[in-house]
Amino acid sequence: MGTTKTIHFTDEQNELATLAKAIGHPARIAIIQHLIKVNSCICGDIVNELPLAQPTVSQHLKELKNAGLIKGSFEGNAICYCLDENGFNKIKNFFQYVDKHLENQKNQCC
C-alpha cells in the first residue's frame, strides 16, 4: 500500500491532512519562516537560503503552492512568492477548535 484511504474520510479531514502534510517538512517550514522574515516577497533567494538543490526547492514550493499556503506572481523573469492566507486560515481554525477543547479539559484527562 502506501496509499492513504482518503475515500473513507470526510473532505474536511482530507483537506486538513493535506495542509498539515504540506507543512510537515523542515524545508517547507524554513520556506515559510523565511517568507515571514523578509516580509515582502522573494523567489530565487529561497534557493540560496536552503541547503537543497534548486530542483528540490522548486518541488517544495510547488507543494506549498498546491496546498494554498503560498502564492507566486511573475515579476520580470523571476517569480515572487509570499504566504497565502487562504491555506493558513483553514488550519488556524482547526487549531483554535482544538485549543478551545484543551482549555476546557485541563487536567481532566484520564
* Phi, psi angles (nearest 5°) of residue 79: -125, 130
Q: Which amino acid is at 20?
A: A
Cβ neighbour number for residue 60 with a 10 Å cutoff: 20
**Cβ at position 16, least distance to a second copy in Å:** 5
What is the C-alpha to C-alpha distance for residues 83 and 71, in angstroms, rounded to an integer?
6
Cα angle for residues 103, 87, 54 (degrees, 5° grid): 125
The entry of a second copy, DNA, none that residue 66 binds, CB within 5 to 8 Å by partner kind: none
Which x/- pattern over 2-41 shows residues binding a second copy (rule: CB under 8 A)? --xxx-xxx--xx-xxxxxxxxxxxxxxx-xx--x--xxx
The entry of a second copy, DNA, none that residue 64 binds, CB within 5 to 8 Å by partner kind: none
User: Which distant-in-sequence residues (6+ apart) come within 8 Å of 94 by Cβ?
Assistant: 16
**Cβ at position 83, least distance to a second copy in Å:** 6
Comparison of 13 and 86: residue with beta carbon closer to DNA: 13
Residue carrying C-alpha cell 534548486: 54
Which x/- pattern over 64-103 shows residues binding a second copy (rule: CB under 8 A)? -------x-x-x----xxxx-x--x--xx--x-xxx-xx-
CB 18 within 8 Å of CB 68: no
Contacting residues toward a second copy, per CB under 8 A = 4-6, 8-10, 13-14, 16-30, 32-33, 36, 39-41, 51-52, 71, 73, 75, 80-83, 85, 88, 91-92, 95, 97-99, 101-102, 105-106, 108-110
